Amino acid sequence: MTRKGFEGPLERVNDYCWRIPRSYRSDMRVDGLIYASDELIHQMRNDQAPDQVANVATLPGIQLASLAMPDIHWGYGFTIGGVCATDPLEGGVISPGGVGYDINCGVRLLRSNLFYQDVKPHMERLVDSLFKNVPAGTGRKGKYRYSESELRQLMGEGVPFLKGRGLATDEDVEFTEARGCLAGAEPDNVSDRAIERGRSQCGTLGSGNHFLEVQVVEAVVDEEAAEAMGLAKDMICVMIHSGSRGLGYQVCDDALRLLRGVPERYGIELPDRQLACAPVDSPEGTHYVGAMRAAANYAWCNRQLLMWQAREVFKKVFSESWQSLNMGLVYDVAHNIAKFEEHRVDSVDKKVWVHRKGATRAFPPGHAEIPERYQAIGQPVLIPGDMGRASWVLTGQQGSMEQTFGTTCHGAGRLMSRTRAVKEAKGRRIDQELAARGVIAKAQSWRGLAEEQPDAYKDVNQVVDVVHRAGISKKVARMRPIGVVKG
């Protein structure tokens, strides 16, 4: 089915922000605000994602505005790239659609002491070895297997669980958002079906837009911040994008099933049933929050094990330990999550539930929740682009706290549906096209590369420019992909 474009009003607030006024619809409780350039807002008018921004503005307890980042595109209930905060003291709700199916899908970045000229002669072998040794693809099982009791313990403790088993270091924990563990996780709220799906998938990449990329630091924009992160021009890094795999998907599916009929029970009227929700403090709301937190902890463990396997591959290819290669974790950020955070709303400090659905936390310098190493520069923000152009490293800025509940974009954002991307790729060799750009790409299928071809995405440089100029995050370094592993 083809969706028509957005037909409502989009009022310019400034060069990088547009408003859907509350007056657009009688059920909207707040305005919608979309961060975009002139070119990006033109693209968004051809999609119904702005309608989803307006839909989210109807949720009980929503604060300030329904927000959308410049990478927005149509999603389940919430637009991907959508942000909203709800106050439980004002009847605020929790909505699985505001988190997404892939709970705590996120990104992590490793640095190294290798430079492009060191790695260039070994790239074919390196990418082949990563492809063979890091499990990728739909339903692919990994080498780390856990019993049900072990998996529930893992979901309760997060990355510290792996540290206790020699699969993570103190620094790995320190440089993961929330130190790799959301307190208040309730593993017993996770269904047996979800447990079964997750037992053999921790440490696997998955499919779709998930990837493991070998990247080179192409340009440094902020020398001070890059130095604090240990980044330098021409340095080799590894970026990993994955989430909670089948376990997280099942947790979301279970929650949506549990929430059937629940909004009506609490007198909540919704413009779209995909916004299914419950008051945060209700039995249904607290059950989902406990399960969501458990799945988020699983996702952090998944990315930790993916990184651990990548380190082992580098060790084998370059005949040096990963420690001597200085393959330390720069940072790990979630971008499909809901977190209970303190923010200032209309001059009042409040504890609110911030839903970030395809959106990344971007806390500023001095924030108590970021590691000491980054206190002076702000939280590292990792924005993957497409596999043919670039990704970006940024830092959070004070403007994010003032405008977006400490949030920025999470990627380039899709421009084409997967179906259209496959149609556009018919008769083409995407791997050869990428090779012509200097990128070695390995995937489990032709379709996997076709769906994720560079043309399927917005230009990440344009997207990042918006959040940089809007003052919610600041450019640090541009990363160019040179080796890609996909499902």
Enter the DSSP assignment of 318: H
Q: Report the relative pairing of strands 278-279 and 329-334 from DSSP bridges.
A: unpaired
- Please state, as a whole number, how many other Cβ atoms lie within 10 Å of the Cβ of residue 141: 14
Backbone φ and ψ of 7, nearest 5°? -110, 5
Catalytic status, residue 410? yes
Task: Show the 3-state SS of 405-442.
Answer: CCEEECCCCECCCHHHHHHHCCCCCHHHHHHHCCCEEE
Tell me whether strands 440-443 and 473-486 are parallel, antiparallel or unpaired.
parallel
**374 with 418: CB under 8 angstroms?**
no
* Both tokens assigned to 83: 């942000």
Query: Which tokens is 176 given?
Result: 């993961």
List the catalytic residue out of 210, 335, 355, 410: 410
The separation between CA 52 and the C-alpha centre of its own chain, rounded to angstroms, equals 19
Which residues does 267 contact at the CB level (< 8 Å), separation at least 6?
Answer: none
Could you give the CA distance from residue 251 to residue 28 in angstroms, rounded to a whole number?
29
- CB neighbours of 474 closer than 8 A, spacing ≥ 6? 222, 225, 378, 394, 395, 396, 397, 468
Contact 34, 57 (CB under 8 A): no
Provide the annotated active-site residues.
410
